Amino acid sequence: MRPWTARTRPAAPPFDERPLDLPHLVDEGHLVAVSALRLAIKNGMILTTIRDGEPWSDDAAVAIGRRSVDALVTELSTTAEHLAAQPRPSTGSSRARSQRARAARDREEAARIDARRRTLTGVVERLRATREDDDVMLELAQRARDDVLAELVHARLIPRASVVTVSEEEQRQAIEGVKADLQLLMLEVYGDY
């Protein structure tokens, strides 16, 4: 008998084992991409307003959104091409159990990579359609504007402390007091040093 207990694998957390269908994955990817676009529009318009002093313009916000869509489409397309170029595992049979298990894992990984590639391709197609739809782009710009205004209102509601003016003599006395307090604290902690 062993003096230690046998190692057991921890129970995996429960999850839905059904694979999600491609349209569902594309919808989720598109929602995430649209959220990123709204954030890019918001940040671009804040930067333009602060840096250039330009007032809010829906046309400028839509232009920022279109540039952001183009950048995102390029990035996702590049990733999909990279995934498509990855080598596929061989389908040859092997005798050893470890080799069969490794081959099964490789096939599963290849299936996941292919699903990811197809999802990215679907999201790219949806983003291109979003870019060409003027109403959707205008709605994104207006929602970004509302987000900016909500943040500005929230920032103005944060209470500000009033500025305390201190003369040079009061500042010197305050610093001397802090030094004296630190000296006493060090004396308590370290004794006579």
How buried is 141 (Cβ within 10 angstroms: 0-12 exposed, 13-18 middle, 19+ buried)? buried
Report domain extents, the chain. Answer: 22-165
Residue 27: its pLDDT value, please?
Answer: 93
Question: Mean pLDDT per 10-residue run, the chain (193 residues)?
Answer: 59 56 91 94 88 86 94 94 80 65 81 89 95 94 89 72 82 87 82 68
Q: Which of 116, 135, 123, 133 is nearest to 72 (CA)?
A: 123
pLDDT in the model for residue 66? 95
pLDDT at residue 118 in the model: 92
**Residue 177 confidence (pLDDT):** 87
Q: Does the pTM of the predicted model rise above 0.85? A: no
Contact 82, 116 (CB under 8 A): no
Q: Are 68 and 33 in contact (CB under 8 A)?
A: no
Quote the pLDDT of residue 190: 79
